[in-house]
């Protein structure tokens, strides 16, 4: 039996807190979740390669609280293989969904082939969508970050984030 998507349970029209780089960080999203009560909340866009091999600082972009549910992880980049891996990370962190940024026009992003630049390479955009879907599906079927070869320190950081959310908010994934 196929699980029902949370999208089917949201009131119409759907009101979401749009991701704004440098603005909608974790404290901002929590305040909106507590007091504005949007139907969905998206994180600031986070680089897929950075999630896999960047500094631990990047995980700050993926902090969230129960007030933000359903919480959507927004990711960007241009290499499908990293979208696959980033989807695993988002699932492991308990996000309700993944949003692929294909609209950011910032020169810094587009010049590297991400964001709005993907409109020029539809085959790559399709590959990114398929890789993200496969990453979610493989995670749901039990594939682990260890099996994918993520560094143990990064896996520990992800688990620590989950434990802190449980300890602080008392809500399990």
pLDDT in tens, 36-45: 999 999 999 9
For 74-94, write each residue's pLDDT tens digit.
999 999 999 999 999 999 999
pTM (two decimals): 0.92
Residue of 28, 78, 91, 104 marked catalytic: 104
Q: Which of 128, 8, 127, 16 is nearest to 72 (CA)?
A: 16
3-state secondary structure of 27: helix
Q: Which of 162, 170, 160 is nearest to 64 (CA)?
A: 162
Asked if 28 is an active-site residue, the reply is no
- Using alpha carbons, select from 10, 164, 8, 18 the residue that is nearest to residue 93: 164
Q: Are strands 46-47 and 40-42 parallel, antiparallel or unpaired?
A: unpaired
Q: Which residues pair with 50 in a beta bridge?
A: none
């Amino acid at each position: 039996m196929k699980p029902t998507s949370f999208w089917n349970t949201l009131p119409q029209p759907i009101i979401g807190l749009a991701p704004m780089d440098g603005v909608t960080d974790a404290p901002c999203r929590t305040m909106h979740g507590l007091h504005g009560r949007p139907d969905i909340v998206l994180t600031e866009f986070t680089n897929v390669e950075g999630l896999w091999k960047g500094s631990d600082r990047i995980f700050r972009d993926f902090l969230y609280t129960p007030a933000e549910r359903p919480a959507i992880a927004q990711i960007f980049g241009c290499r499908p293989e990293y979208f696959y891996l980033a989807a695993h990370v988002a699932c492991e962190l308990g996000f309700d969904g993944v949003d692929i940024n294909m609209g950011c026009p910032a020169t810094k992003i587009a010049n590297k082939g991400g964001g709005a630049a993907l409109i020029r390479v539809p085959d790559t955009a399709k590959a990114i969508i398929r890789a993200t879907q496969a990453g979610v599906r493989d995670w749901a079927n039990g594939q682990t970050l260890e099996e994918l070869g993520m560094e143990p320190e990064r896996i520990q950081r992800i688990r620590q984030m989950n434990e802190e959310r449980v300890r602080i908010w008392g809500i399990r994934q």
